[in-house]
Amino acid sequence: MSLLEVLNEWQDDAQTIRRHIHRHPELGFEEKATQALVVKLLTTYGVDEICTEFAETGVVAVIHGNQGLGQRIGLRADMDALPIDEENTFEHRSGCAGKMHACGHDGHTTMLLMAARYLALHRDFKGSAVLFFQPAEEGVGGAERMISEGVLERYPIDSCFALHNLPGIPAGQFAFREGPIMASSDRLFITVRGKSGHAGMPQVSRDPLLVATHIYQGIQGLVSRTFSPLEPVVISVTQIHGGETTNAIADEAYLSGTFRTLNQNTRDNITQRLETLVPNLARAFEMDAELHLGPVTHPPTVNTPDETAQAVHAASTVVGAEKVKANTQPLMGSEDFAYFLDKVPGCYGFIGNGDHEPGCSLGLHNKKYDFNDTIIPTGAAYFVTLVQQLG
């Protein structure tokens, strides 16, 4: 039997696992039950080593091939859910209010589990496969924490690969890109300090909302008149707060949002320009303003050339070259797999979740999104093929 035929025979098991995880979502660094399930299944599959010592709820597994010495290939899946109330009505909908697998991490975890099952059973490869089941991808720093705690020193790898499902691409097709494929992400927080007073006598106060609106417009002008239109830059101010009542001018105003780009130099340039713009606009109105960046950031996700070519080759082996796009457009969302790619060469790619299927074709983070169970064997086969070809 071929690799894909074997994995297709496990489809019912895979669907049961995936839907169980979907029914029991856990947020970042809280994935205790998911971790326990992953460890239980990996133990059943007979992997060579299991470690749960990184990032509170992370799992690392090692599987050695029986074809001699070779490379150590890293494969990563994320495990956390989002703080979203699910609106689906199917049987495996979230059983936890305010928590939902709205990004498909339940499916990513299951794909890697099925790959582990196959690799441990057959071991028809050189070297070793190192599997990272990572917690807390959704903006709370899971990858950075695993790496800062020394996971790559304890489990060194020669290259690393990850997949993310993507609605809008036909189910089971692949998309890759050499170079930047996902944007950086930084959260910005601005505090404007004015002087409160009576709304009928604004001349004796200092209105921080006035400065907040000028800062907002200044940021939008910064994008359109400072950076090249050929260089993707997105700065979104998503919140402005200030004031407590209708007849009093506030003493403080607050802005927050994010900025994203595909280039690290541009990312650094944005930070420098914001640090100049914010306090100086406030100073022009005899007020003070401070910029702070959030504690969790993501650099751009940048795929290395050789590993991207290897990923395209592996995917083409599984589904045929006609179903693999080798130069897809980058997305302005962010991905903390970027921290792995900062340390080792590798490739982050997409697997289609469907373009017409109800639920599966909805955008990520949608309250009615669902992962497409039919693509689990295909994703697992891609991971296995990478190990077989690169080991």
What are 36-74's pLDDT values in tens digits? 999 999 999 999 999 999 999 999 999 999 999 999 999
pLDDT of residue 358: 84
Residue 245 contacts by C-beta under 8 Å, 6 or more apart in sequence?
none
- Structural tokens at position 190: 């601005």
Q: What type of residue is 223?
A: V
Residue 306 contacts by C-beta under 8 Å, 6 or more apart in sequence?
345
Average pLDDT of the residues of the chain: 96
Which of 78-92, 169-183, 351-365 has the least mean pLDDT? 351-365
pLDDT of residue 312: 98
Mean pLDDT of 306-335: 97
pLDDT value at 291 more than 90: yes
pLDDT value at 357 more than 90: no
pLDDT value at 15 more than 90: yes
pLDDT of residue 296: 85
Burial class, 204, CB count within 10 angstroms (exposed 0-12 / middle 13-18 / buried 19+): exposed
Q: What spatial distance separates the first Cα and last Cα of the chain, rounded to whole Å?
A: 22
Name the strands in the sheet holding 49-51, side by side, starting at the edge strand that comes first in the sequence: 49-51, 59-64, 128-134, 72-78, 159-167, 346-354, 174-175, 324-325
Taking the CA atoms of residue 53, residue 59, residue 64 and residue 70 in that order, the dihedral angle to the nearest 10 degrees is -90
Helices (H), the chain: 3-9, 11-23, 32-45, 105-122, 142-148, 151-154, 208-226, 264-284, 305-319, 338-343, 376-390
pLDDT of residue 317: 98
The one-character DSSP state at 298 is: B
237-276 tens-digit pLDDT: 999 999 999 999 999 999 999 999 999 999 999 999 999 9
Indicate the angle between helix axes 11-23 and 105-122, nearest 10 degrees: 140
119-135 tens-digit pLDDT: 999 999 999 999 999 99
Mean pLDDT of 13-38: 98
pLDDT value at 230 more than 90: no
- Residue where the block lists tokens 């991207």: 308
Alpha-carbon distance of 268 to 300, in angstroms, equals: 12
Alpha-carbon distance of 167 to 231, in angstroms, equals: 25
**pLDDT band, residue 84 (cuts 50/70/90):** very high
Distance of CA 297 to the CA centre of its chain: 11
Closest by CA to 389, choosing from 301, 303, 309, is: 309
pLDDT value at 229 more than 90: no
With the C-alpha atoms ordered 227, 232, 233, 237, is the resulting torsion angle positive or negative? positive
Alpha-carbon distance of 98 to 300, in angstroms, equals: 29
β-strand partners of 161: 75, 347
pLDDT of residue 282: 97
**pLDDT band, residue 112 (cuts 50/70/90):** very high
**φ, ψ (nearest 5 deg) of residue 348:** -110, 130
Q: How much of the chain is in helix, strand and coil states, percent to nearest 5?
A: 40, 25, 35
183-222 tens-digit pLDDT: 999 999 999 999 999 999 999 999 999 999 999 999 999 9
Residue 179 φ/ψ region, left for φ over 0, alpha for ψ in the -120 to 50 degree band, beta for the rest: left
- Structural tokens at position 76: 């990563």
Alpha-carbon distance of 360 to 369, in angstroms, equals: 6
pLDDT value at 1 more than 90: no
Residue 327 contacts by C-beta under 8 Å, 6 or more apart in sequence?
176, 177, 178
Alpha-carbon distance of 43 to 13, in angstroms, equals: 16
Helix (H, G, I), strand (E, B) or coil at 276: helix
Mean pLDDT of 277-288: 97
- Structural tokens at position 111: 């794909």
Residue 376 contacts by C-beta under 8 Å, 6 or more apart in sequence?
7, 11, 14, 15, 18, 107, 110, 111, 114
pLDDT of residue 47: 98
pLDDT of residue 129: 98
**pLDDT band, residue 385 (cuts 50/70/90):** very high
**pLDDT band, residue 391 (cuts 50/70/90):** confident
Q: What is the DSSP string of 134-182?
A: E---SSS-HHHHHHHTTHHHHS--SEEEEEEEEETSPTT-EE--SEEEE
The percent of residues above 70 in pLDDT, for the chain, comes to: 100
